[in-house]
Structure formats: structure tokens, C-alpha cells
Amino acid sequence: MTGLALAGGACLLMAPGLAAKQGDPGGLDPSFGTGGRASVAVETSGSIQVNGLAPAGNGSSVLSFLDSDSDAGAVVRFSSRGALDRKFGVDGVARLSFDSVSLQPRDVLVGGNHRVFVTGESKRTGKDQYTGGLAALNPDGTPDTRFAGDGIALPESLDAFTPYEMDFSPGGKIVAVGIQGGTPSSNTTVARYLPDGRLDHSFSGDGLLVLKVHQNQLGRTVDVDRRGRIVIGNPGEVAPYSPQSRQGDYDLVRVLPDGHLDSTFGSDGRVTVNPTEYDDEITDVKVDGRGGILVAGGSNANHGSLVRLGPSGRIDRNFGRKGVNEMSWFTPQGIVTDRKGRIFPIGFTSTGNSDEMGGVQRIGPRGGLDARFAGWHTGTRYLTDGFVDSRGRVLAGGNLDSREAAVLRLKP
């Protein structure tokens, strides 16, 4: 097993060009970890990539990361105080190795009874071909052998499937979305699992929905609303190709619980919007408490945007400036919301004079940027995922550098 060590150190909190005051909202919570940051350094000859963070009950959190030096990534569990939970895995870290199978995680969730679900690419020992896998861990980090027999589901129909994100569906079901078939001709695939790891055949006949695309886009994101409808961002251009299409299009699909496209969304379940003049691509979608859909995107030009669609798929012109909040020098990777309807894009910034730096913005329910929220964090390379806890504090996960993963907790 790769060796791990706890690392820490206070972060200087600042916005580009402006030092943040100690009491500013968005500042690091000093009661968490070391100076508001909990981290773990991985001894690896490769690099790690953090791509999942989820609440794990009683104020704790779990974080997942890929390891380029191993066929198996890992899940880390931190306590409510930001310490490694030594009762989870080995000293707080559970490597994702199963009987003759390993898993590189792309996303993590925690369900009832503190069971941890992890989805990603799986490889069988001695074989090069990968399969989309969904694993379940017990609260102590060991494989849950009640799930698919040995703790990991590997449907044959998901060969060459790379899941990117997942969400819970009513009844404890799990929806995973990703690409199948490799680029550039990959198709967006949606899989819905039963709580025991079997594919749910009440969804699209066999548990799988394949959206054949005409224009591939990298990354897939998903959110399931209270009615079980599945919103998929960045599925690629699923409508017939149009000469007017361009890279900056935001393509979305909404699917009914039975796997059919939802005809009340757009005209046939598919929506394309052109929010900005930049070549942004969708990075995350989030269904808000009123049935609206928040869509975040960004580009290599260090530009980001947040768009709000109404339940029917039309841009909400009362949000931001004609439905859009544009963010210069910030690329959001995830969206979380709180009980007041405020929105927290999580991502990173990069200027010509500095390295990438993780950041969290705060946007009001009507789309206005809250400039009082000091959410830039030097010492972080980028932030990718997060959530708001029961006390209104934002937790964000990401990389401090290529070999160190961290969770930050911000003041309310």
C-alpha cells in the first residue's frame, strides 16, 4: 500500500490583489484541521487527482482521489474536526482494491447507515480492459460484501465505460453518468443501479440509457431532482447536427424515471443554450429547491459562467444579467447551494503571473456576486467538489499540489 502521512499548515486567505480580513465570511474555519484545512500527503511516483467530496454523517466527510501510480485510488475520511478518522480503512484511508479488481474513483457518495459508494474505472488483475464499476464500502472502509457479492458491481454491459459523476435517486437507487466507447466517438451513457448493485431494469428496459451524440464534449455531470428526473449536462450534441452549433453551446438533457426523454423540458427533453461568447463547456449542474436548473461552465481562457434555467429549460432572465452570471479569471468545477438559496461555485483561478489557485464564490439567489465573501485560497492548486453542512459552512475538496489532497472548511 502507498504510504500516507498527515500534513497541515495554515493558509493565507486572499482575493486576487486583496488580502482578506480575519472575520470575513468565506475565511477558513480555524476549528477545522490546521487553520481550516485538513490534508493528506500521498507518497507516489505519479500524481493524484481529487474529484469527489461528500458529507458522511456527524459532521465528517469523505474524499476520493485517483492515483496515476496505482490501479487503485482511495477514499479518505475526515472527522468533524478535520482529523483523519483512524477507524476508517488504514489510518483513515481506504484503498479501492477488491478481489482481483481495482477501482480508480471519479465520484463518491454516502448513503444510509453511512455506507460509502464510489464509482469509477475498474480493471481486473492482469487485464488491460477497463469496466465502469460501482463499489460499496462499510462505515469502516471495508468492502460491503452484501453489495453485488463482493462489494463492487461490474456489469458486462458497461465495458469501456468511464463514469464521471453520480447521484442518488428515490428509493436508494444510484444514477451514474459518463462516456462509453472512448473519444472522440464516445456516447453518453446513463446507468441506474438498485441498492444491491444490480442494474435497475425498470429504467430504459435494461438499466442503461445511451445517448448517441454527434459532437463529443469532455466530462459529464448529473443531478436527480425530487421527482426522480435525471438532468444531464454536457451529453454532447444529441440533436441533429446544425452548422450553427459551436463549442460554447451548453447541451442538457432531462430524462424521466422510466428512461424516456422528458418532453416538458425544451421541446423533446433536450435543451441547448449559448450563455456567453466564450468556448465554455459545462462542468456541473444542480437542481435547486424550486425546480430550476443551475449550470456552471468554464474555459481555458480563465472564464466561467453560471446560468439558471427554469423548470421547462428556458433561461431565467431574472437571474444575473439576462440569466447569466459571468466570472472572469475563475473556472467553476462544482456547484453547491445552501438553505437560503445562495449558490457557491467551487473551482480555481489562474492569472499570467501566478499558478492555479482554488476558490469558492458566493452568489445570491438572484444571481448577484457577493464581493464580501473572501473565497480565494493560496496554497491550493484547485478545488473540484464540495457541500454545505448543517451549520451553513462550505466544505471544498481538491488538490494542494500533485501529491496532496485536502478539504477546506469555510466560515458561514
Write out the DSSP string of 293-312. Answer: EEEEEEETTTEEEEEEE-TT
**Alpha carbons 144 and 161: distance in angstroms, whole number:** 23
Q: What's the confidence (pLDDT) of residue 245?
A: 53
Q: Which residues contact 344 (CB under 8 A, 6 or more apart)?
A: 335, 336, 337, 338, 360, 361, 362, 363, 386, 388, 394
Per-residue pLDDT at 241: 53
Q: What is the pLDDT of residue 351?
A: 58
Going 118 to 120 to 125 to 131, the CA torsion angle's sign is positive
For the chain (412 residues), the mean pLDDT of every run of 10, in chain order, is: 34 33 72 95 92 96 96 96 96 93 96 96 84 96 94 93 95 94 74 97 96 68 96 72 63 95 93 83 91 88 88 94 89 94 90 72 92 77 94 94 94 84
pLDDT value of position 124: 85
Given this model, what pLDDT does residue 340 score?
A: 93
User: DSSP letter at 114?
Assistant: G
| All domains in the chain, ordered by first residue | 4-409 (2.130.10.10)
What the block records as the C-alpha cell of 394 is 462550505
Q: How much is the pLDDT for 120?
A: 96
pLDDT, position 222: 97
Q: How far apart are the first and last CA of the chain?
A: 38
Q: Which pLDDT does position 182 carry in this prediction?
A: 63
pLDDT the model gives residue 207: 98
